[in-house]
Amino acid sequence: MASKTKQKKKPAESVNYEQKWENPMKRPYLEKIILNIGVGSGGEELERAVAVLESITGKTPCKTISRKNIKEFNLRKGRPIGVKVTIRDEDAAELLKRLLIVSNNRIKRASFDDYGNFGFGIKEHISIPGVEYDNTIGIWGLDAMGRVVRPGMRVKYRRAHRASIPKDHYVNREETQYFLQKMYNINIVEEIIDEY
């Protein structure tokens, strides 16, 4: 019998992203920022959440609908339970800079995935620059999600002639972190400790 020999894995080579980005189809960009507030019920609370997102972005948010019946949380399928708004292009870049001021330009390392997505939470919306406290609305927390992509990702989502995207065309975790550090001066940390 022939003995099986184990091959040692080669160490991962450090990628020179600047050289890679010389190709315009490989150069990543910030596609969008999504702000989300989960209210859990409709009515007056939902309208306050709508007013919060309008004051932050200047855009009209849409309501998110419950997909399931969950008796414990008093949720019924088809009822509005939250609000979200999507910001793209130049507005997304400006909004991201404002949102990052809240956490002193820090994002946790665990907040990234292998497809160019990242996210972070904001405990009080009034800590965002340009937003003032309104006692009729109160103080709300929200989630911010961002996505970094390369040109050509539209092929996956367009209606006609949709096609799959190869894995190497997605922006991986390390490249997303490098892109945000270079373009938005972000510090990647293991844990965010609030400073008062």
Q: Tell me the CATH number at 106.
A: 3.30.1440.10
Q: Is residue 32 part of a domain?
A: yes
Q: Measuring CA to CA, how many Å separate 32 from each of 29, 95, 102, 146, 196?
A: 9, 10, 19, 6, 30
Q: Is residue 64 part of a domain?
A: yes
Per-residue pLDDT at 9? 45
* Total domain count, the chain: 1
Q: Is residue 194 part of a domain?
A: no
Residue 140 to residue 131: CA distance in whole angstroms: 12
What range does the domain containing 105 cover?
Answer: 27-150+165-189
Q: Return the higher-pLDDT residue of 83 and 137.
A: 83
Q: Is residue 74 part of a domain?
A: yes
Percent of the residues in the chain that have a pLDDT greater than 70, as a whole number: 91
Q: What six digits make up the tokens of 112? A: 């990234």
pLDDT score of 107 more than 90: yes
Mean pLDDT of 31-55: 89
Mean pLDDT of 149-171: 93
Q: Is residue 178 part of a domain?
A: yes
**CA torsion 70→73→78→83, rounded to 10°?**
-140
Q: Is residue 86 part of a domain?
A: yes
Q: Is residue 43 part of a domain?
A: yes
Q: Is residue 53 part of a domain?
A: yes
